[in-house]
Amino acid sequence: MRSAVARGTAAQLFMVGLPGPEVDAATAAFLADRAPAGVVLFRRNVESARQLRRLTDAIHATGAGVRPLVAIDHEGGRVDRLRPPCTHFPPAAAVGATGDVRVAEAVGRAMGREGSPGRFPAPGRTEAGPEEGVEPAAPSEEARALRGRPAG
């Protein structure tokens, strides 16, 4: 009994990835038995907005009393998990390099809108381009941060 409780408690410290675009029987059993804190989705998990909604619902249905957090690794630049009609956002470093808080806020709001359940842009529609005035950054780890160094 203690080992099952410890395993369940420890599992709540982790987020896991899924092998594909749906929750098959083996994945459902794993999520029900381990009950992780959440699931991180990657390109291999996303085919369409409708499929993503079904996947998210299936993940939530596996929670052991608590709905697992569902996150997607979609930060802009090289890390771009969602396909059109969703927006391809610029790297965070390019947004930060503008020095304009309004640009960062616009990008953040657009990412939030697109990441909200059921709020993917309709086919053929794109969001107002926060990319305007944003120069692309070099593909490096630094491109993933809004600033090269902490302010201070």
- Domain range for 55 is 1-73
The number of folded domains in the chain is: 2
Blockwise average pLDDT, block size 10, the chain, 152 residues: 62 89 93 88 85 90 80 76 77 90 91 64 36 42 54 48
3 with 58, same domain: the answer is yes
Q: State if pTM tops 0.75.
A: no
Q: How many angstroms separate the CA atoms of 5 and 39, rounded?
A: 20
Among the candidates 73, 93, 119, a domain finishes at 73
Domain C-terminal end among 29, 52, 73:
73
